[in-house]
Amino acid sequence: MTTNLLNFDLQGLVAYCESLGEKRFRATQLFRWIHQRGASDFDQMTDLAKSLREKLKTQAVIEGLPVITQHESQDGTIKWLFDVGDGNAVESVFIPEDDRGTLCVSSQAGCAVGCRFCSTGHQGFSRNLTTGEILAQLWFAEHFLRKHLKTEERVITNVVMMGMGEPMQNYSALVPALRTMLDDHAYGLSRRRVTVSTSGVVPMMDRLSQDCAVALAVSLHAPNDALRDNLVPLNKKYPLDELMQACLRYLEFAPRDFITFEYCMLDGVNDQPEHAQQLIALIEKYGKGKPWCKLNLIPFNPFPASGLLRSSNAAVAAFAKALSDAGIVTTVRKTRGDDIDAACGQLAGDVKDRTRAAERMAKQRTIPLQPVR
Ligand code: SAH
Ligand code: SF4
């Protein structure tokens, strides 16, 4: 059987090399060739013994994902659609800024959580990506961009697991991928520059704090359980109190001294003054007088099937002001790449829904969310 070496973190590659009777430092050399140099051909690896290269050629490959399409936005954002086989495709987005380059990476083909406002959620779930498929997005994008921008320097300085899928529901593939992002022999990103975004899979938040405590973003979207149950169905399993407690536990191990809460602004649904007041009360209840989180307001990126609308700029500004006045650091996320459907929640790829979640959601859509106005 052929082994794709993109599936291994360094520890995994060491074990693989040992199974071939090779020493640990060979694995490190190989790892550097793959991730730092973007090599996919063993013959390039001139500092490896010819006999090892020949052996590798017979049983291993370094194989990325086929690119189906690439779109570049007017603002420099680039979106790739990758083929993951069997009629499924996933998306990654590169977002250049003055002082950084962020890659938004997918973790699953589809998503089983089924949030009301998310186009990935509306597609249902097909399958988890492997570690190799998660890393292939970064491996390809980094080395493509170096060529594209004609530089030898690192281009991607930050990774956010905010593409398609719920990373914490693909935990065993996620952790080796994160470790490779952090590894000095691979991408060498600091823990603060790698962010896992979760809709709130509480047990996995605890595990991540022990296994690979990178920066954490939690998709909150509602200040009370009734509304959150409706928007993020996972809330029925892990309600707000459990989620808040898990955030506080995570903070003890986190690379930053705050958790980021994402809050998608939906017109008339979660953007009213009383929601801001409830949110402030919720944060204060758990904060014990100390600042412990930041709020990132995301103006909703509409897609037809959602039946939801983006909050007005005035509502977003008023909401942000209420939070800021209460001493909560609040930012409004700039929409990037919306001309190429690369903005948050617009990543839809192409997913063969094996769970019929899309069908269930279509039924659920007939239950209107109660606008509070
Ligand atoms: N499953 C993870 C990560 C992927 S979604 C999570 O839910 O956190 C990344 C972010 O985009 C989440 O905060 C998500 O709530 C937000 N998002 C999803 N759909 C959106 C939309 N249509 N408009 C704006 N933000 C959206
Ligand atoms: Fe899944 Fe995140 Fe979309 Fe919810 S917002 S459906 S958890 S990808």
- Same domain, yes or no: 295 and 182: yes
Angle at which helices 313-325 and 273-287 cross, to 10°: 30
Q: In three state form, how does the secondary structure of 178-193 look? A: HHHHHCCCCCCCCHHH
Please identify, by atom number, the ligand 1 atom nearest to the C-alpha of residue 111. 1
Which of 76, 373, 315, 32 has the alpha carbon at shortest distance from 180? 32
Range of the domain at 48: 3-61
pLDDT digits (tens, 9 = 90+) for 315-337: 999 999 999 999 999 999 887 77
End-of-domain residue from the set 61, 87, 106: 61
- Specify whether 41 is located in the same domain as 117: no
Q: Does 91 participate in catalysis according to the annotation?
A: yes
Nearest CA to ligand 1 atom 9: 162
Does 344 have pLDDT greater than 70? no
Catalytic residue among 22, 91, 142, 262: 91
Q: Is there a catalytic annotation at residue 344?
A: yes
Same domain, 221 and 139: yes
Which of 39, 61, 83 finishes a domain?
61
Name the DSSP letter for residue 199.
S
Q: How confident is the model over 86-100, as pLDDT tens digits? A: 999 999 999 999 999
Binding residues for S-adenosyl-L-methionine: 165-166, 197, 219-221, 301
Measured from the alpha carbon of residue 163, the closest ligand is 1
What is the Å distance from ligand 2's center to 166 Cα?
A: 6
Residue 160's domain is classified under what CATH number? Answer: 3.20.20.70
Whether residues 36 and 95 fall in one domain: no
Residues 6+ apart with CB under 8 A from 228: 220, 221, 222, 235, 239, 240
pLDDT at position 77: 94
Picking from 82, 51, 80, the residue whose alpha carbon sits closest to that of residue 64 is: 82
Q: Is the same domain home to 24 and 126?
A: no
Our CA dihedral for 240, 321, 119, 63, rounded to 10 degrees, sits at -90
Q: Can you give the CATH number for the domain in which 51 is found?
A: 1.10.150.530
22 with 72, same domain: the answer is no
Residue 81 sits in the same domain as residue 115: yes
Taking alpha carbons only, the member of 182, 203, 206 closest to residue 194 is: 182
For residue 95, the model assigns a pLDDT of 96
Between CA 60 and CA 69, with CA 66 as vertex, the angle to 5 degrees is: 165
Nearest ligand atom owner, CA of 167: 1
- pLDDT (mean) for 242-271: 97
Which atom of ligand 2 has the smallest separation from the CA of 112?
1
Residue 57 lies in a domain: yes
- What tens digit of pLDDT does each residue of 349-360 get? 666 676 666 666
**Of 90, 106, 111, which is best to mutate to test ligand 2, by the most ligand atoms within 8 angstroms of its C-beta?**
111
State the distance from the centre of ligand 2 to the C-alpha of 91, rounded, in angstroms: 14
Q: At residue 117, what are phi and psi to the nearest 5 degrees? A: -100, 10
Residue 373 placed within a domain: no
Domain boundary residue, one of 61, 80, 95: 61
Q: Would you state the pLDDT for residue 357? A: 65
The pLDDT tens digits for 151-161 are 999 999 999 99
Higher-confidence position of 282 and 348: 282
Classify residue 371: in a domain, yes or no. no
Number of domains in the chain: 2
Residue 161 Cα: closest atom of ligand 1: 3
Tell me the per-residue pLDDT of 361-371, one tens digit each, with 9 for 90 and over.
665 544 445 44
Considering every ligand atom shown, identify the ligand nearest to the alpha carbon of residue 298 and give its number: 1
Domain assignment present for 21 = yes
Average pLDDT value for the chain: 93
Is 114's C-beta closer than 6 angstroms to any atom of ligand 2? Answer: yes
Any ligand 1 atom below 6 A from CB of 353? no
